[in-house]
Amino acid sequence: MTAQLTLGPVQYNWAPEDWRDFYFRIADETPIHTVFLGEVICSKRAPLYDNQLPDVVERLHDAGKEVVFSTLSEVTTDIDRRLVKRVAISEGFPIEANDVSALQQMGQDPHYIGPLMNCYNEEALAVYAENGAKSICLNPEMPKVGIAELAEAAKPYDVALEVQVYGRMSLALSARCYHARAHNRTKDSCLFVCDQDPDGMRLDTLEGDEFLTVNGIQTQSHSILNLVECLDELQEIGINRLRISPQSIGTFTAISAFDDVLRDKISPSEALKKMRDDRVDAPFSNGFFYQRPGYEWHDKMPAE
Amino acid sequence: MSEFIKPELVCPAGTPASLRTAVDAGADSVYCGFKGPTNARNFPGLNFTKAELSESVKYAHDKDAMVLAAINSFPTAGRTDIWKKSVDDAVELGIDAVIIADIGMAKYVAETHPDQRLHLSVQAGASSPEAINFYVERFNVKRVVLPRILTVPEIKRVHDAIDCEIEAFVFGNIGMMAEGRCSLTNYVTGISTNMDGVCSPASHVDYEPDEEDGLTTRLGDFAIDCISCGETAGYPTICKGRYDTAHKKNYYAFEEPISLNLTRLLPDLMRAGVTALKIEGRQRSRAYIRSVVSAFRDAVDAYAAGDEPDITELIALTEGHKETQGAFKSKSWR
Amino acid sequence: MPLFAMQPILRRIVRHVAQLHPELFERLGDSCSKQFLIDAKGMPFLLLLRPDPENLMLVAKSRHAEIPYDVLVSGKFVTLLRMIDSKTDSDALFFNRDIAVTGDTEAIVALRNALDDMDATLADDVATAFGPLRGPVRASIDAANKIVGSKT
């Protein structure tokens, strides 16, 4: 099976027109196979995209992309619950569950398991596969050795595994909004201040080190995950679905760089150079893959 | 005349001596874990061997207290056997319930030990009736430990919509991130909270004094807080550090280092249908366990008898002497 | 008391404790081979502890010497005594910065947890190591405790 590039949901609060135009470009210009769409971070933001959604879906479908609706990740309030239900019962669209409540809402129709759910081992994989999951996207903290074990465990089932290969990593979720907190507001009275930061709000240590990224209730890495040098290894262990997580900067360059490597048009180090030259706003990292601190970058070992 | 059933007081134990202390101080049940990565408090010098747990279960049962085994981390693929062995051992020792977070381990308990009482750990992060019902229907979960993010009215609504008991945290250290969904520690140290059972491992913690009697606390290569002379210093966890953003400087970006104390809300929680009240602190000293458990025993008994207990002692025990009612009191906390 | 006169007493204390509480070392795990330098403010000397049952050591060291250590624990003498007396909440001593720790945090966390699991308090054991003097020694520990307790 040849590897497919997928596009995770936009996790930031982008202006609706920018959001629409981004997906139009994805439809028109990229080899992305599957597009995950929907608000996974904050139920308050979800209605902002309602007007754009039908056009975006149509454009993506016309371009031959598979469109999957992603559900909210942290489900607490009645508004959250209603949003999950609305998405989970969308007729005719496959669903990516990002919380166990979505599994309960949608029953056992074929669906996807998102990276914000926990699938760390063979037993968990069996639960999801037997429940109708056709693909499971693993948490970015999963090391190569664990990914390989899971790929082996997936074989008896009709379930594919997906791994995030590019973009900021989701490191934590909370019930509390840290964007609102930084602006001395509460979640209920936030006035959508997160729209000021299309790639999240940088959090530095008191010693001035760039550290984390705040995106509403989500805490992301500051560094940008980049596994372009690990694509061979991933494919060798049977991972053929590779997820790019959108940023407002550098995403299209990354998509073409990854695609070029998968097609053997350029080498991983050439791809890396191409991505680094495209004014990315943070260092790349790949530590988790090597079972090291996630922010670290490890040059690929020379082949044996 | 009481308007609610007296709740079970669930208390922490990091060592056999703490377990005996908690039982003697009036705990209805005590939760604890095995040494190693199978539980979410995998700290050096803490937790139980199988032999220690065996003795501890006997001690507790002799005094009519229950023991709950927390096997509530997430096994990485390829090493589930360690977790399964822990479950098997706990069942063999006659544990009163196993507390599970991983969906795969829940399946293992339900299929391998169908008669074993199963609790869903807070680490499973089941925060809505739909999520809880999934676990109840699939794995016959008897009790859910609720994440510390719901208001009391929300807890009441959850209670009315689910078919299992509710256990709620009422006192102790309150982490800010959704339980079971945080890899901040791993990002900094290479040790995973979910897979290795430790948040902020001591092996990567450093306290660095400066000349003005201040202190910089570090986790791995990153400064978590700079504490000036005279300030109290909590154990450095990323979600309780101080940081800079473009909008605000040198502030607790996630949460102040304060402790949860719901003593005043106990009657409300009991009315909301909470079956069990949980005290956090398996990493805390025996002296602390003794004080907190005794004080809560008195408070719960007093409320149940319709009296107003004295809670000044509980407030003094709070970490850094600052307390919060967190999410429980009002939505404005979010 | 000159340092050389201290050493046999310290040796006796640490052997006595080791004999009474073998489980302490099991709980310490790998941290038992670490060197704990204990700086009781106001005392004329430092204490160096290696709680390794195979290679036990508790010695007094001059404040003027360069002493290699894994973890440095410092605080007032009475505060440090309270840390080894499980009747008091040693966590609070850390939070209030009555005790300062630098170096290998894992080792001190392991030691604290191991001490906390002991049913008898180490303060009592130290007292019994003094044989006929145990009464006066325990009494002075209790007195120290009262003084500190009244302040916090």
pLDDT digits (tens, 9 = 90+) for C1-55: 678 888 898 898 888 888 888 888 889 999 999 999 999 988 889 999 999 988 9
Asked if C touches B (at least 3 Cβ pairs < 8 angstroms), the answer reads yes
Residues of chain B in contact with residue C87, where contact means CB-CB under 8 angstroms, are 287
Residue ranges per structural domain of chain A: 4-168+223-290
C-alpha to C-alpha distance for A175 and A72, rounded to whole angstroms = 12
- Amino acid C79: pLDDT: 84
Does an H or E element contain B226, and which? strand B222-227
Residues B160-186: tens digit of each pLDDT: 999 999 999 999 887 779 999 999 999
Distance from CA of A61 to the nearest CA of B (A): 31
Q: Which positions 85-104 of C are in contact with B (Cβ < 8 Å)?
A: 86-92, 94-97, 100-102, 104
Range of the domain at C11: 3-151
C-alpha to C-alpha distance for A68 and C55, rounded to whole angstroms = 63
Q: Which residues of chain A have pLDDT under 70?
A: 1, 107, 301-304
- Amino acid B3: pLDDT: 64
Number of domains chain C is built from: 1
- Amino acid C146: pLDDT: 56
- Amino acid C148: pLDDT: 45
Across the interface, whether the CB atoms of B209 and C102 are under 8 A apart is answered yes
Residues C101-114: tens digit of each pLDDT: 889 999 999 998 99
What region does A216 belong to: left with phi over 0, alpha with psi -120 to 50, or beta? left
Instruction: State which residue of chain B sits closest to C74, comparing Cα positions.
Output: B209
- Alpha-carbon dihedral A80, A85, A86, A90, rounded to 10 degrees: 140
What average pLDDT does the segment C78-96 reach?
77
B51 Cβ contact list (under 8 Å, min separation 6) = none
C-alpha to C-alpha distance for B289 and B264, rounded to whole angstroms = 20
C-alpha to C-alpha distance for C105 and A192, rounded to whole angstroms = 42
C-alpha to C-alpha distance for A41 and A45, rounded to whole angstroms = 8
Residue ranges per structural domain of chain B: 8-174+258-333, 184-252
Of B15, B202, B203, Cβ closest to residue C116: B15
Q: What is the mean pLDDT of chain C?
A: 81
Q: What is the ipTM of this complex?
A: 0.96
Say what percent of chain B tops pLDDT 70: 96
- Amino acid A301: pLDDT: 61
Residue C113 contacts B where some CB pair is shorter than 8 Å: yes
Chains near B with 3+ CB pairs less than 8 A apart are: A, C
CA proximity to A248, closest of A6, A3, A15, A2? A15
Structure token pair of residue A157: 């089932």
Instruction: State which residue of chain B sits closest to C98, comparing Cα positions.
Output: B232
CATH number assigned to the domain comprising residue C142: 3.30.1050.10
Edge-to-edge strands of the sheet including C71-76? C57-62, C45-50, C36-41, C71-76, C99-103
- Amino acid C141: pLDDT: 60
Query: Which residues face C104 on adjacent strands?
Result: none
Residue B1 has pLDDT above 50, yes or no: no
A147 alpha-carbon distance from chain centroid: 17
Global confidence as pTM? 0.93
- Amino acid A304: pLDDT: 43
Q: Which of A272-281, C87-96, C141-150 comes out lowest in average pLDDT?
A: C141-150
Across the interface, whether the CB atoms of A202 and B332 are under 8 A apart is answered no
Q: Which of A92-101, B48-57, C138-147 comes out lowest in average pLDDT?
A: C138-147
CATH topology of domain B8-174+258-333: TIM Barrel (3.20.20)
Residue C70 contacts B where some CB pair is shorter than 8 Å: no
- Amino acid C151: pLDDT: 37
B210 pLDDT band, cuts 50/70/90, is confident
A106: helix, strand or coil: helix
Instruction: State which residue of chain A sits closest to B222, comparing Cα positions.
Output: A205
Listed in order, strand segments (DSSP E) in C52-97 are 57-62, 71-76
Q: Which amino acid is at B128?
A: S
Structure token pair of residue A281: 């706003």
Q: Is the separation of the CB atoms in C33 and B46 below 8 Å?
A: no
Residue C128 has pLDDT above 90, yes or no: no
- Amino acid B252: pLDDT: 95
Residue B59 has pLDDT above 80, yes or no: yes
CATH topology of domain A4-168+223-290: TIM Barrel (3.20.20)
Structure token pair of residue A138: 């693993």
Residue C134 has pLDDT above 80, yes or no: no
Of B20, B202, B285, Cβ closest to residue C105: B202
Q: DSSP label at B143?
A: E
Q: Compute CA distances A246 → A72, A97, B24, B33, C132, whole Å.
A: 17, 19, 55, 40, 75
Chains near A with 3+ CB pairs less than 8 A apart are: B
C2 Cβ contact list (under 8 Å, min separation 6) = none
What average pLDDT does the segment B30-55 reach?
95
